[in-house]
Amino acid sequence: MTPDGDEQLRPYSEAWYHKQQRTLGDFACRTLGFYAIPDTFVLSVVIPVYNEEKTLRQLVDRVRSVPIRKEIILVDDCSRDRSRDVLKALELEGQSDPMNRIRAFYHDVNQGKGGALKTGFHQVTGNVVIIQDADLEYDPCEYPRLLQPIIEDKADVVFGSRFLGDQAHRVLYYWHYLGNKFLTTLSNCFTNLNLTDMETCYKVFRREVVDEIAPKLVQKRFGFEPEVTARVARRRYRIYEISVSYSGRTYAEGKKIGWKDGFQALWCIVRFGLAD
Ligand SMILES: Nc1nc2c(ncn2[C@@H]2O[C@H](COP(=O)(O)OP(=O)(O)OP(=O)(O)O)[C@@H](O)[C@H]2O)c(=O)[nH]1
Ligand SMILES: [Mg+2]
């Protein structure tokens, strides 16, 4: 209960939304991005983890604080730091939290982000699946905005773009930005989509899309991003983009992606652009 005696309702729950609708009206609710997420809805959050002991707990705390029922699937990609210990502790905590069920999976050999995601995708049981990196570059408080086009049945897939809108973006490496733009443009030439950020971590899928695509994924490392983009484009799913914020990190802060990953992405754009 709040101090004035009102019942505390979970944001985005059906009861909460109806209360907002009664107070503010439809127009204000739509303008503010208030809508109802069905009470039976479950979001599967797949988190690939490789040497992220510094940020993992804080990231999972941010995910847990999003007021949506979730299953959080953590995949440790054979980390060499103490990420595994953090995962084990989180898994235990998840057993007593029905809003945030936590399951962890462990690779014996390092595979790469794509490999970790494939392992996670085979475990999802929720209605919608979102990819969440284990660093703090992307903010889970953006989940409700990212989910809205899928819940309102306008989209099957949503990409969170770092190059759209007025969300806060850390100003960082210009040549990375240019590389990203180039890869997105080339990918668009093959897919005939007008995406602004193909390499974004925030990719959201209806569960059926993951069920269809996951068994076919072959790229184990960062080639995952162009591969999955080409595969959803080829199947003519309805795709939306939503602006997201981005707190990029520097190499000193743990950034790992390098120029070799850029060349790998280039090859994957051509390979998966030409054939499924
Ligand atoms: N680099 C890397 N990341 C992996 C691997 N396996 C899983 N991951 C996870 O994949 C996610 C994305 O990796 P990042 O290194 O953050 O990649 P990025 O965000 O594209 O690039 P930077 O953060 O700028 O390095 C993180 O959650 C990693 O922990 C791997 O083998 N290498
Ligand atoms: Mg990152």
> What pLDDT is recorded for position 193?
97
Sign of the C-alpha dihedral, residues 210, 52, 70, 90?
positive
Q: For ligand 1, atom 24, name the residue with the nearest CA.
A: 255
> What pLDDT is recorded for position 39?
93
Cβ neighbours around 58 below 10 Å, total: 12
> What pLDDT is recorded for position 4?
53
> What pLDDT is recorded for position 2?
59
Low-confidence ranges of the chain (pLDDT < 50): none
In this structure, which ligand is nearest to the CA of 254? 1
| Residue 139, token pair as written in the block | 């903010």
- Verify whether ligand 1 is closer than 6 Å to residue 256 (CB atom): yes
> What pLDDT is recorded for position 145?
97
> What pLDDT is recorded for position 97?
93
Which helix (H) or strand (E) element contains residue 204? strand 203-206
> What pLDDT is recorded for position 1?
54
- Verify whether ligand 1 is closer than 6 Å to residue 49 (CB atom): yes
> What pLDDT is recorded for position 259?
84
Q: Which domains does the chain have, with CATH numbers?
A: 8-39 (no CATH), 40-274 (3.90.550.10)
Q: List, in order, residues 6 or more apart from 110 with CB less than 8 Å away.
A: 50, 77, 78
Contact assessment for residue 215 and residue 118, using Cβ atoms and an 8 Å cutoff: no
pLDDT digits (tens, 9 = 90+) for 62-106: 999 999 999 999 999 999 999 999 999 999 988 889 999 999 999
- Verify whether ligand 1 is closer than 6 Å to residue 197 (CB atom): no
CA distance linking residue 130 with residue 220, whole number of Å: 18
Which helix (H) or strand (E) element contains residue 147? helix 143-151
